[in-house]
Structure 1
Amino acid sequence: MNLVLENTLKMNGNDKNDIGIVVIRGNSVVMIEAQNPCQREKKLKS
């Protein structure tokens, strides 16, 4: 299973760089752990 991350930020010290959508291949994932509670944004129907 692949992971798709939206609104991704690359953080390096105090610098933040918005890199958008990131796709991670499933066989590269070893462990998943939520560091902070995740909230899903409500999307409006078109």
Structure 2
Amino acid sequence: MQDEENWNAAHSFSGRIWGTSGILCMLCTLHLIKSVSKEACIKAK
């Protein structure tokens, strides 16, 4: 915390990790919604 350059590098790195994990969560959610709705359509027939 005393070295500002190191502090900024750590926040930059963790920001990329959070952003990437957020995108992965969205993609997994979309895939889950798509597969659940497909199963619901199959059961409805």
What TM-score bracket applies, with the shorter chain setting the length?
A: under 0.3
Return the structure number with greater relative CO, CA threshold 8 A, min gap 6: 1
Larger Rg: 2
For normalisation by structure 1, the TM-score amounts to 0.18
Richer in strand (by share): 1
For normalisation by structure 2, the TM-score amounts to 0.18
